[in-house]
A and B are shown apart, each in its own frame.
Chain A
Amino acid sequence: MTVRRRSKFPLGLLALRTTVAWGVALLLFFPLGWLFLTAFKTELQAIAVPPLFVFTPTLENFHEVQERSDYLLYAKNSVITSVLSTLLGLMLAAPAAYAMAFFKGKYTKDILMWMLSTKMMPAVGALVPIYVLAQKSHLLDTQLALIIVFALSNLPIMVWMLYSHFKDIPHEILEAARMDGATLWQEVRLVLLPLGMGGLASTGLLCLVLSWNEAFWSLNLSAAKAGTLATLIASYSSPEGLFWAKLSAASLMAIAPIVVFGWFSQKQLVQGLTFGAVK
């Protein structure tokens, strides 16, 4: 890739833009950076005023977190619930998006808006009924409950994203497949899926991240057995007071996998989110 200064921006404007960009980036990065530093401090160093930037890092906190609670169990729960809920969500969203994109009806737009509007309701509004449902069906503190709830709460976003991706696929190509003798399943498998792979991948990645980070439902519907990393972090606040260093260590361990994952898939994610806009 060649880097070229575009002459239509005067140098001053360019400098301003760069400064603002760096400012925003630092602002976004600061909490993460702080978290990272704190995780390697002792509890005393963590609350020192003024804050310490130079210190001898320690891995003590990570040891303690692992000793006090079973990190791997929570991590496993996080992986299982986010992966399976994403797959379940894709299985439900892809056919819906296909139908809406290629067999648009009179109410398609309204249905899409309605789906999106459900995301505007605060989740806590649905807490009691969902809690009771989970309790009555003996799903409290099970992975299954979280998988279902994660998948359903991400469904509107998944349908929207897939819908806008599928909409960019010329419908004549699918019609051509039909004329060529493809059954519905062949049309989907041999033409729609290969062409929609980018959209499916980015939708899946986004939902994986959303499910991994989801805290509200995992805190309310799960505990020691099916709890995800979000519940692990939460268990480090309150009862015995705040332990900033350990809390930071636990948080770091919780977000590390998804940050690494996101780092490797960011190209795909960005491509997916801007697909169609920059074609």
Chain B
Amino acid sequence: MAYLQLRGIEKFFGEHRAIKGIDLTIQQGEFIVFVGPSGCGKSTLLRLIAGLEAIDGGSLMLDGRDITDQPSSKRDLAMVFQSYALYPHMSVYENMSFALKLAKVDKQVIDEKVQNAARILNLTQYLQRTPKELSGGQRQRVAIGRAIVRAPKVFLFDEPLSNLDAALRGQTRVEIAKLHRDLGATTIYVTHDQVEAMTLADRVVVLRDGVIEQVGTPLELYDQPANQFVAQFIGTPQMNVVPVDKLPQPVQQQAPTAPAGAAVGAIGLRPENITVRHTGATPVGGQVDLIEALGAETLIYVSTPGGAQFVSRQNDRTGLRAGDAVSLDIDASHAHWFDTAGRVVAGHAA
């Protein structure tokens, strides 16, 4: 049975239709990530679920209860904000116990829960400090602790890692994943970072312009993107998308026939499905534009005479330099073919 169900959710800001009829079903214990470029409506959708913005159309059900018009305080959800939003005039302990105090929970129970959460998050020695005496990472943990203590029905995270530096971000990401595994709490997590989405999610919801483009497990999105947008949004470096008419002849010949009313417009190739070989090894020739040596992997940018540029990823290092002539071994069996509107015509099935 659905735990959290969105049916035809709509949101208008003045004349602008920000969220356009979203349907989504979330199961208990799932880790759902909303991802998309900025302005796609992912944060708005989260705020609609949180009750911080009014829902203009559709309905929202939580655990069998209609919460569409309930105020935030009655929804039994906890939210971790990007800016942490800790109460600056309260100690860490007071921050974490605030919700329970409002709910008139017994003092002893509060203390037990706060101490427990503090232990999980390594905050025990900071409980008497105020937020401004903490580092960014510690503040973030307090914000998470404030949510954990309440054991809410759903955890909502609004880009919780974007204010942290890169190293801390990776570390906190792992902690959040571990926390979810240990607590098993239903979680909705908003991010614009597709690496966070891929690593944390049970299922990823890709949004664009207030519409869901695709919902699926991280690997489903990677292997079977529903359209060119999802294909290019998921994966680093981006999927190579090349218009058919710029394709080298041998690859072009492999294009599938489009269904009636559509025409094949472009091919999508993951960088790992292209191998750079010495010149003459394959019929597809090219010239190296740029090498990005990242240590564990090497990205090689190659342009072909037709005017197409491909990026290839390989795991070993290379002696190639910019300007070298090479040939490309393109694994077209893993190609995704898009019609002129960007929809998938044919793609490799995992």
Contact of B81 among A106, A172, A190, A191 (CB under 8 A): A172
Q: Are A175 and B98 in contact (CB under 8 A)?
A: no
What sequence of 0s and 1s flags, for each residue 67-102 of chain B, a beta carbon within 8 Å of any chain A beta carbon?
A: 000011110011101110111110000000011001
Interface presence of A37 (CB below 8 A)? no
**A182 partner residues in chain B, CB cutoff 8 A:** 73, 102
Q: Tell me the minimal C-beta distance from A80 to chain B in angstroms.
A: 33
**A170 partner residues in chain B, CB cutoff 8 A:** 83, 85
**Distance between Cα atoms of A186 and B104 in the complex (Å):** 13
Q: Are A194 and B89 in contact (CB under 8 A)?
A: yes
Q: Are A180 and B71 in contact (CB under 8 A)?
A: no
**Distance between Cα atoms of A87 and B60 in the complex (Å):** 43
Q: Are B52 and A180 in contact (CB under 8 A)?
A: no
Q: Are A179 and B72 in contact (CB under 8 A)?
A: yes
**A256 partner residues in chain B, CB cutoff 8 A:** none
Q: Tell me the minimal C-beta distance from A184 to chain B in angstroms.
A: 9
Contact of B85 among A176, A181, A183, A194 (CB under 8 A): A176
Residues 181-235 of A contacting B (Cβ, < 8 Å): 181-183, 186, 190-191, 194-195
**Distance between Cα atoms of A172 and B52 in the complex (Å):** 10
Contact of B87 among A177, A179, A183, A186 (CB under 8 A): A177
Q: Are B88 and A179 in contact (CB under 8 A)?
A: no
Q: Are B89 and A176 in contact (CB under 8 A)?
A: no
**Distance between Cα atoms of A172 and B102 in the complex (Å):** 18
**Distance between Cα atoms of A195 and B146 in the complex (Å):** 19
Contact of A178 among B73, B87, B89, B103 (CB under 8 A): B73
Known: A170-B83, A176-B79. A181 touches B99 (CB 8 A): yes
Contact of B72 among A175, A186, A190 (CB under 8 A): A175
What sequence of 0s and 1s flags, for each residue 143-174 of chain A, a beta carbon within 8 Å of any chain B beta carbon?
A: 00000000000000000000000000010110
Q: Tell me the minimal C-beta distance from B148 to chain A in angstroms.
A: 13
Q: Tell me the minimal C-beta distance from B159 to chain A in angstroms.
A: 12
Q: Tell me the minimal C-beta distance from B266 to chain A in angstroms.
A: 42
Interface presence of B50 (CB below 8 A)? yes
Q: Are A180 and B83 in contact (CB under 8 A)?
A: no
Chain A binding surface SS class: helix
**Distance between Cα atoms of A139 and B52 in the complex (Å):** 46
Q: Are B150 and A180 in contact (CB under 8 A)?
A: yes
**Distance between Cα atoms of A106 and B14 in the complex (Å):** 9
Q: Tell me the minimal C-beta distance from A177 to chain B in angstroms.
A: 7
**B74 partner residues in chain A, CB cutoff 8 A:** 181
Q: Are B71 and A175 in contact (CB under 8 A)?
A: no
Q: Are A173 and B88 in contact (CB under 8 A)?
A: yes
Q: Which chain A residue shows the least CB distance to B102?
A: A181
Contact of A186 among B79, B102, B146 (CB under 8 A): B102
Residues 96-146 of B contacting A (Cβ, < 8 Å): 98-99, 102-103, 146
Q: Tell me the minimal C-beta distance from B141 to chain A in angstroms.
A: 15
Q: Are B102 and A178 in contact (CB under 8 A)?
A: no
**Distance between Cα atoms of A190 and B88 in the complex (Å):** 12
**A186 partner residues in chain B, CB cutoff 8 A:** 102
Residues 253-299 of B contacting A (Cβ, < 8 Å): none
Contact of B89 among A175, A180, A181, A195 (CB under 8 A): A195
**A195 partner residues in chain B, CB cutoff 8 A:** 88-89
**Distance between Cα atoms of A179 and B88 in the complex (Å):** 16
Q: Are B85 and A172 in contact (CB under 8 A)?
A: yes
**A190 partner residues in chain B, CB cutoff 8 A:** 98
**A172 partner residues in chain B, CB cutoff 8 A:** 81-83, 85
Q: Are A175 and B73 in contact (CB under 8 A)?
A: no
Q: Are B88 and A180 in contact (CB under 8 A)?
A: no
Q: Which chain B residue shows the least CB distance to A183?
A: B73
**Distance between Cα atoms of A175 and B82 in the complex (Å):** 12
Q: Tell me the minimal C-beta distance from A34 to chain B in angstroms.
A: 46
**B98 partner residues in chain A, CB cutoff 8 A:** 177, 180, 190
Q: Are A178 and B52 in contact (CB under 8 A)?
A: yes
Q: Are B77 and A179 in contact (CB under 8 A)?
A: yes
Q: Which chain A residue shows the least CB distance to B14?
A: A106
**Distance between Cα atoms of A43 and B83 in the complex (Å):** 67
Q: Tell me the minimal C-beta distance from A176 to chain B in angstroms.
A: 4
Q: Are B77 and A191 in contact (CB under 8 A)?
A: no
**Distance between Cα atoms of A173 and B88 in the complex (Å):** 9
**B89 partner residues in chain A, CB cutoff 8 A:** 194-195
Q: Are B81 and A180 in contact (CB under 8 A)?
A: no
**B85 partner residues in chain A, CB cutoff 8 A:** 170, 172-173, 175-176
Q: Tell me the minimal C-beta distance from A192 to chain B in angstroms.
A: 11
**B82 partner residues in chain A, CB cutoff 8 A:** 172
Q: Tell me the minimal C-beta distance from A166 to chain B in angstroms.
A: 15
Contact of A176 among B14, B51, B87, B103 (CB under 8 A): B87
Enumerate 8 A-B pairs (CB-CB under 8 Å) in ascending A order. A170-B85, A172-B85, A178-B52, A178-B71, A178-B72, A180-B73, A181-B102, A182-B102
Given pairs A178-B71, A179-B52, 9 additional interface contacts (CB within 8 A): A175-B72, A177-B87, A178-B73, A179-B72, A179-B78, A180-B146, A181-B99, A183-B73, A194-B89
Measuring CB to CB, which residues of chain B are less than 8 angstroms from any residue of chain A?
14, 50-52, 71-74, 77-79, 81-83, 85-89, 98-99, 102-103, 146, 150, 156
